[in-house]
Amino acid sequence: MVNSLRGKVALVGVADTAVGELPGRTAMELCIEAGMAALKDAGLGKHQIDGLITCNAMSQPMLYHAEATAEYLQIYPRYCMTLNAGGGTTFSALHHAASAIVTGMAETVLITMGDSLRSGLTRDQAMLAQSSTGHPQFEQPFGATVPAYYALIAQAHMHEFGTTEEQLAAIAVAARAHAAKNPAAQKRDLISVEDVMNSRRIADPLKLLDCSLVSDGGSAVVMTSAERAKDFPNAPVYLLGVGEGHGHEHISQAKSLTHSAAKDAGQRAFAMAGLTPQDMNFAQLYDCFTPTVLVELEDLGFCPKGEGGPFAASGALLPGGSLPVNTHGGLLSHSHPGNPGSMFALSESVWQLRGTAGDRQVPRAEVGLVHAQGGIMSSHTAVILGRDRS
């Protein structure tokens, strides 16, 4: 591939803030805290970065968020961008940053995000955000909220492939098993399939434990060229492949409820990396709701279409399984502060590939896939990371 980004850029700094309920810290303060900690991890001062990418915060929206962040830091980058956020475009930031570095628009890019969904929004504000996502003509009038849209996906998968609620529950159980090994996770108590099945019903067939957490928190990474990466204090983690796929904006306009543009994103990322799903030592998959993981597992090629339920129920996603998924606990058990939520999967992947993930370390982790989606299975980005750039 002539214009491939494979092995040309690396992640050299990474950091998370605490997560959960963090009263008294605004979304911007969490964004700054994460960014400064990532710079420290990279051994850099703030004036040594010349590129900055952020996403807007739901609890503290700003018209020019990246510029406001630079202003807060009192830096003057030559490359400055606010992404429209959502889980998928969170990882599109890596795509943009890598392209900027390779083309000389910037040498060292800080990607930092934070939000305060737990303590920064009132209940009414949160419900308004949940109910205003849908199409104003074809969805909102029917009163559905975000969980209901994902429940449609679950119902379709169950109808088409015979997937069971217990198989969906196994995804939440696996996430909590990983979170139990992560001292930074918001929820660490182990749960069973029965616990998921007995939790409060939210939108049929989804129960409370099928749904992601609501959190405060921030996360950041620092990227630079592969040539410069060896000069930083920690072992670099290389971008081997990246791909995007965009299917629709509103779920009522989706061509299918059981197939997604994750397939396009994954195929493009694997092609760039010259690798296959079977080469991955772990996967971090966007898990805002359990059926999201089901569709991603299939569309990214980790199991055949329609077999995501049995695959999850087999124990494959658990610690020590054939494909450990969301080794930090994911959005279901680690945290979900909105747009920055998938960034914690990215930082976790860096620690796994550095070999510094502690009790949750995946043995012999050499390469892994990180995937996120935004909207209601709308926009997808898949990223393949590795310890070796070749």
- 244 lies in the same domain as 375: yes
Q: Which residues of the chain have pLDDT under 50?
A: 1-2
Determine the pLDDT at residue 346.
Answer: 97
Determine the pLDDT at residue 169.
Answer: 98
Determine the pLDDT at residue 1.
Answer: 45
- In the block, tokens 């043995």 appear at 363
- 353 lies in the same domain as 290: yes
- 224 lies in the same domain as 280: no
Long-range pairs for 227-231 at CB < 8 Å and ≥24 separation? 228/107, 228/108, 229/10, 229/12
In a domain, 3, yes or no: no
CATH of the domain at 36: 3.40.47.10
- 94 lies in the same domain as 193: no
d(CA 30, CA 70): 14
Q: State which of 169, 198, 229 marks the end of a domain.
A: 229
Q: State which of 194, 229, 264 marks the end of a domain.
A: 229
Domain that holds residue 34: 9-121+216-229
In a domain, 271, yes or no: yes
Q: State which of 229, 259, 282 marks the end of a domain.
A: 229
Determine the pLDDT at residue 131.
Answer: 67
- 251 lies in the same domain as 289: yes
Q: What is the separation of C-alpha 144 from the centre of its chain, rounded to a whole number of angstroms? A: 24
d(CA 1, CA 6): 9
- 251 lies in the same domain as 373: yes
Phi-psi region of 25 (alpha: psi -120 to 50; beta: other; left: phi over 0): beta
- 24 lies in the same domain as 114: yes
In a domain, 87, yes or no: yes
- 74 lies in the same domain as 191: no
- How many domains would you assign to the chain? 2
In a domain, 137, yes or no: no
Bridge partners, 10 (sequence order): 224, 238
Determine the pLDDT at residue 85.
Answer: 61
Determine the pLDDT at residue 197.
Answer: 98
- 369 lies in the same domain as 221: no
Strand order through the sheet with 282-285: 79-83, 51-55, 108-116, 216-225, 9-16, 237-246, 379-386, 367-374, 282-285
